[in-house]
Amino acid sequence: MSFDRLWADLAPVGRSADSGGYHRYTWAGADTDARAWFTEAAAARGLDLRTDRNGNLWAWWGTPGPGAVATGSHLDSVPDGGAFDGPLGVASALAAVDELRERGFTPARPLVLGVFVEEEGGRFGVPCLGSRLTTGEIGPARARALTDASGVTWERAMADAGLDPEGVGPDPELLSRLDVFVELHVEQGRALEDTGHPVGVAGAIWPHGRWRMDFTGRADHAGTTRLEDRNDPMLPFAHTILAARALAEQHGARATVAKSLITPNGTNAIPSLVSAWLDARAADQATLSAVVEGVREVAERTAREHGVAHTMAAESTTPLVEFSHDLRDRLAAVVGARAAESAGPVPILPTGAGHDAGVLSAHVPTAMLYVRNPTGVSHSPQEWARPEDSHAGVLALADVLQDLLAVPGGVS
């Protein structure tokens, strides 16, 4: 299957020799190389490649225009991320085109393969930035001013990549061309390993978000400053991390503090500032709010107790996403037709992970396929899909696309 060649060509791009994890950050070296890999693969297939105003890539099979079926994912990674989150959907889309052509299938309407930029928010902090810009969920002025860890703006990075940042913004023309979007993605849990299915279909995406917290204290000497004289921001920060965990357990939600910046970050100096990010997700909005407000309360109270100032603000939030039920059931039926009868119905899986498909779903009928991940681990070098499951994913995607492409535009 052509998937293996595509995957082998992409595998070394941005992979750390030490950890085996990936470092692909938007508009920087490895991400640029991964985009070049896609561009070459599209050209080799005679697809018409376009870069949209926000830097997303679109490779068209058939004349670009309305009524299109779209599929794809992203190529950027979290720091030291896994190989599959994003790239599996892109490589599978390309391989599905090959599969459909081998079948001698002729689409009745255009197919377009998309690669969204900055899905992970790994460089500029806002996840699904490419799709959020396209749908207008984030404004161009805010996006252009976003900065990476070294202060480079989105505007500057985009210009350095040879693209025009002036054009950034909503793209209703592009959206109006898409009749349906299907994203294939590695599963970010172990549900399919438990049910014994290589491929599942997405249910809802939990509401989720990122909140930035700043604890501002006073720098001082670790040896000479009496404990009672300190304004040490690490202490309320520590309380807050533990509270996030406890609140998530109490509410059946997820809460994580995985990123923090400590100033000045010296061994023998009490810090003046701790900036940290809370990532929280829950099955419904009320539960999510309860967790986040609970964390805020503890952060404020413990900051006050230690004479530390505290602020907390949402950097991005995503409401509950319910994918189109018609489309979801249609995918499940198509995928189920290939599965062994003994396997039982194709699982419909809710997830706590955000995706471009979730952002698009408010504008275009959208669905997702998940490919089994035996480790259940994601955003880590341990993330994995067996080669035979990746192949099953390609075939499932090809079946689904064939079903959708067999009829002219206007279906959803």
Instruction: List residues binding Zn ion (CB under 5 A).
Output: 85-86
Q: Which C-beta is closer to Zn ion: that of 184 or that of 247?
A: 184
Task: Please state the closest distance from residue 114 (CB atom) to Zn ion, in A.
Answer: 13
Q: In this structure, which amino acid lies at residue 186?
A: V
Q: Tokens at residue 160, please?
A: 């350095």
Cβ-Cβ contacts under 8 Å for 53 (sequence gap 6 or more) = 164, 167, 168, 169, 171
Torsion over CA: 146, 152, 153, 159 (sign): negative
Task: Please state the closest distance from residue 392 (CB atom) to Zn ion, in A.
Answer: 19
Beta-carbon-side half-sphere exposure of residue 24 (alpha carbons within 13 Å): 32
Q: Which C-beta is closer to Zn ion: that of 189 or that of 307?
A: 189
- Residue matched to tokens 């202060």: 151
Strands 309-318 and 208-216: antiparallel
Task: Please state the closest distance from residue 187 (CB atom) to Zn ion, in A.
Answer: 11
CB neighbour burial string for 178-193, b if at least 16 within 10 angstroms, e if fewer: bbbbbbbbbbbbebbb
Task: Please state the closest distance from residue 129 (CB atom) to Zn ion, in A.
Answer: 13
Q: Which C-beta is closer to Zn ion: that of 89 or that of 409?
A: 89
Q: Tokens at residue 94, please?
A: 């390309």
Q: Which C-beta is closer to Zn ion: that of 132 or that of 230?
A: 132
Task: Please state the closest distance from residue 70 (CB atom) to Zn ion, in A.
Answer: 16
Q: Which C-beta is closer to Zn ion: that of 130 or that of 140?
A: 130
Measured distance CA(192)–CA(197) in Å, rounded:
5
Q: Which C-beta is closer to Zn ion: that of 86 or that of 347?
A: 86
Task: Please state the closest distance from residue 30 (CB atom) to Zn ion, in A.
Answer: 16
Measured distance CA(278)–CA(257) in Å, rounded:
5
The residues pairing with 313 across neighbouring beta strands, listed in sequence order, are 212
